Amino acid sequence: LKHAGSSPSMVALQAKAQQFQLICYNHDSKKEYRLVNELATNWLRDDSNRRAKYTETGKGIEWEQARALEQLGQDRTVAENERNAFLNQALGISRGLSRRTGPYKAPAAAMVARVSTLLGRDANDPTDFNSAYGRADELFTQAQQITEKISSALGAGKNDEAQQHANARKGVASELTRMLDLALKMQDSTTDETLVRRSELMLAVGYVYQERPYEAAAVSDYFLRNHGEGAPEMLRLAGEIALSALNDAYQGAEQGNRDFEKRQILKTADMLSTRWPETELAVGAHMSAGRLFWDDGQFQEAAESWLKVPDSSKNFGTAQLKAGAALLEAYSRGSQKDEFERPSAEELTRLRDEAEQHLQKGVDVEAARTPAESENPDLLRGKLALAQVRNLKGDYKTKGNVKGAIELLTEEPHSLIKAVQTDPGEERPSDPTSLRSRTFASIVYQQLLRSQIGVKDIEAAREARTKLEEIGSSGDSSALTQIFVQFGQQLQQELEELKASGATDRLADVRQGFEAFLSDLYDRDESQQTFNSLLWIAETYASLGESAEDDLLKANEYFDRSATAYERILNRSGSDAAFAGSPQNILAVKSRMLECRVRQKDYEAAEKVLLEVLKDSPNAPNIQESGARLYQQWAESGATDKFQYAINGRKEPVQVWGWGEMSNRMKTQTAAGFRQMYFDATYNWAHSYQQLASKQSGDERKQSLRSALRVLDTFGRTTREIPDETYDKLNDLFALIQSDLGEQVAALRRGGAPTQGAGTSQPDKPQTRSPEPPAPTVAENEPEQPSNVGNIIVILGLMAVGAAAVAGIFMWT
């Protein structure tokens, strides 16, 4: 059962093994009925078994589940409503099996009769609407009672118990929907129209309970479209069911394959907001549409949807906060684009100022309706995002009517600093949606540290940094490193945003503030420095350097200070083995020092660090990627001979893969992050060939260009599901190389599609002096998984945060 194979024969064998296991657990010597129910439920839910469910083996698994449920339904130690839920589920399964040919038809029919008797019902189906409706109404009441138990269990944090109740409710709902379907088929001109409408709504709810969102949405949509303006409460409920069900369908759909669900939600939302524009139903429609646009990265459209919520709605404050967060996200994303795609400075300023306006409005509304002693998560998240904007603008302290970032974070009532505190010894929640989680608390203190540095209050900044360190050190070994890296990236992003918006004075002021604080830390006596303080200094100087690359002298100074801080860590670790905490931390520091030396263009020093790191971790993909990039940049700076190492790697004194081997190894890996490494390595492999060709002439040049074409053509022919952005980048390079060869430009093939024209021509026989792309092979040594490289992956693989981290907190709920 634990075999990873997925061939049809293996799936069939595993299904048979599952059936036999259930038979054993159902035996009188075992009587593991709950386990049978759980295993069968999981097997039937698994998409990989969707075909096997309809085989005789699949029917056998259903039969074993029905047998277990019948026994559970007769357990007198269980509450009556739970027993009835088990029996209803058994009845639904057995009734379905009794209508299908095969060995389970007769025993299933007998079970229908037995279970019906236990439930006090006629084994035969009702023959008129009223009888069917009456039976359905009883089942609906049972389902509602179980729903209350689910809510109670969830409120008490008993998730496993809640899931058990949900499984039981599903069994009741199965019979409920069947009975309502019968009832609706038997309605006639004498049937009470109110009961018909109620039956339709109960049917939609039953499908929700069965986790069948598409059916629930279809029924509720039918109700909305066919029952005019009558019974407003029923229409409201139908609208809520439709939106809720479609949202469930959207969340359950595969990433990248949600277009149908999105269209249906937007279509339903538009209908609801058009027909009932001044109702909470329309508000729900706007809120759902906004979430969809957010998920698709359409942040300004998301804001437009949320801004349609009227100020008369109870959700007005929350909608304003979400709209502000969306505009802040649009500002952040826009400012990070390259200069050719980046919005104008005026447009970026507009987005930031409108974000501030709506965040302030939302904070005011939520604060006015929240008692001082109460905790309102939306209000606190809104204050955090608003503090982010105030930090961006340099409004660190209150001036006139504009409350500063420091006051937003610290002042009562509703102090963020107070909200994230935990009692001594209390473990922080792992759920990032919790205000006291390490994730949320670290963002709060990052913003406070940013504010204190902004006002050049060195002592207060030290205290905030120390608290930030305490929060990070309460987690695993990489948590604190992650926080430091995030803060550095937030700083880098802020500086990039200031550059993009043309705020040169603010840019200089921010740099000066950080320089003053870092210098204070940097110049402290060595005995006062810890691994964490030196790491924080190094990371922040590196971020300053990355944002100052328009001023090469300044950038070089920052990177040198960063590398020196890393060297101080290594020197201390050499004399004190416990200083860095773990070998993974040492490896992480060396990898970051390598990056700094490359940024400084001190390639010989960078190579020395690279070879040291690879001695300890020869198969770490991130380090090998850095090595290939080192040699590529070194070669592009004038050391043409280094292209050989960038493309084909080297064997001595340690193995460096180079882009070719990197691409081949990453192609077969499926762990998170490796696929992007594969795309990047392939691009750089071909690009290195093209750059080498620019230094060559004659046949050598031609051969290098053809080698580059082969790399890209092989990628296009053999790689499935290439993201659009990746394909466009590679296709542009493919076209450029063809132009360099003087050939007709053709598009790069994609996932097996043939390339017409130059791309299909046979390359000339390679010259011995021009590096040839190695044939794709299975690597002898598999690359280390991210968990084995510790903080290297944390440091090198983190997504950029900053405004995005703060704005995104509104999507946690």
DSSP per residue, 151-174: HHHHHTT-HHHHHHHHHHHHHHHH
Are residues 791 and 584 in contact, defined by beta-carbon separation less than 8 angstroms?
A: yes
Token pair for 153: 């269990």
Q: How confident is the model at residue 4 (pLDDT cuts 50, 70, 90)?
A: low
Is residue 272 assigned to a domain?
no
| pLDDT tens track for 357-408 | 999 999 999 999 999 999 999 999 999 999 999 999 999 999 999 999 999 9
Instruction: Give me the mean pLDDT over the 437-456 stretch.
Output: 94
Is residue 364 assigned to a domain?
no
592 and 635 housed in the same domain: no
Burial per residue of 713-745, b for 16 or more beta-carbon CB atoms within 10 angstroms, e otherwise: bbbbbebeebeeebbeebbebbbebbebbebee
113 and 210 housed in the same domain: yes
Identify the pLDDT of residue 773.
38
673 and 776 housed in the same domain: yes
Identify the pLDDT of residue 364.
98
Which range scores top for mean pLDDT: 323-332, 454-463, 537-546? 323-332
565 and 649 housed in the same domain: no
590 and 625 housed in the same domain: no
795 and 778 housed in the same domain: no
Distance CA 490, CA 602 (A): 26
- First-last CA distance in the chain: 37
Distance CA 693, CA 695 (A): 5
Distance CA 117, CA 124 (A): 11
Q: How confident is the model at residue 93 (pLDDT cuts 50, 70, 90)?
A: very high
In order of 219, 659, 701, 741, 764, the CA distances from 695 in angstroms are 68, 19, 8, 14, 19
Identify the pLDDT of residue 798.
28
Instruction: Give me the mean pLDDT over the 660-665 stretch.
Output: 96
Q: How confident is the model at residue 764 (pLDDT cuts 50, 70, 90)?
A: very low
Q: Find residue 656's DSSP bridge partners.
A: 650
Is residue 25 assigned to a domain?
yes
Is residue 533 assigned to a domain?
yes
Question: Number of folded domains in the chain?
Answer: 3
Is residue 636 assigned to a domain?
yes
Domain edge (last residue) among 248, 277, 307: 248
769 and 633 housed in the same domain: yes
Token pair for 330: 């649009």
SS3 796: helix
For helices 531-547 and 504-522, angle between their N-to-C axes, nearest 10 degrees:
150
Question: Is residue 52 pLDDT above 90, yes or no?
Answer: no
Question: Is residue 477 pLDDT above 70, yes or no?
Answer: no
Distance CA 138, CA 598 (A): 73
Q: Find residue 399's DSSP bridge partners.
A: 402
Is residue 330 assigned to a domain?
no
Question: Is residue 733 pLDDT above 90, yes or no?
Answer: yes
Distance CA 681, CA 677 (A): 6
| pTM, to two decimals | 0.68
Instruction: Give me the mean pLDDT over the 558-578 stretch.
Output: 93
Is residue 623 assigned to a domain?
yes
**Cβ within 8 Å of residue 72, ≥6 positions away:** 33, 34, 37, 78, 83, 86
Instruction: Give me the mean pLDDT over the 415-437 stretch.
Output: 92
Residue-averaged pLDDT of the chain: 87
Identify the pLDDT of residue 807.
60
Question: Is residue 763 pLDDT above 90, yes or no?
Answer: no
| pLDDT tens track for 183-210 | 999 999 999 999 999 999 999 999 999 9
Which range scores top for mean pLDDT: 152-166, 276-290, 597-611? 597-611
726 and 592 housed in the same domain: no
Which range scores top for mean pLDDT: 460-464, 532-536, 637-641? 637-641
Domain edge (last residue) among 248, 277, 299: 248
Identify the pLDDT of residue 97.
93
Question: Is residue 754 pLDDT above 60, yes or no?
Answer: no
Question: Is residue 475 pLDDT above 90, yes or no?
Answer: no
**Residue 477 carries which side chain, given as an amino acid letter?**
S
SS3 541: helix
**Secondary structure of 419-446 in HEC code, one letter for each residue:** HCCCCCCCCCCCCCCCCCCHHHHHHHHH
Indicate the range of 181-195, 243-257, 722-736 predicted with least confidence: 243-257
Instruction: Give me the mean pLDDT over the 696-704 stretch.
Output: 96
Task: Quickly count: other Cβ atoms within 10 Å of residue 456's Cβ.
Answer: 14
Distance CA 399, CA 396 (A): 9
Instruction: Give me the mean pLDDT over the 594-601 stretch.
Output: 93
592 and 632 housed in the same domain: no
For helices 259-275 and 280-295, angle between their N-to-C axes, nearest 10 degrees:
150
65 and 95 housed in the same domain: yes
Is residue 64 assigned to a domain?
yes
Which residues constitute the domain of residue 147? 8-248
142 and 66 housed in the same domain: yes
| pLDDT tens track for 482-516 | 677 678 777 888 888 898 888 889 999 999 999 88
Q: Is the peptide bond before 771 cis (omega within 30 degrees of 0)?
A: no
Identify the pLDDT of residue 474.
63
Beta strands in 468-589 (DSSP E): none
Question: Is residue 749 pLDDT above 70, yes or no?
Answer: yes
Identify the pLDDT of residue 551.
87
171 and 152 housed in the same domain: yes
Q: What percent of the chain has pLDDT over 70?
A: 90
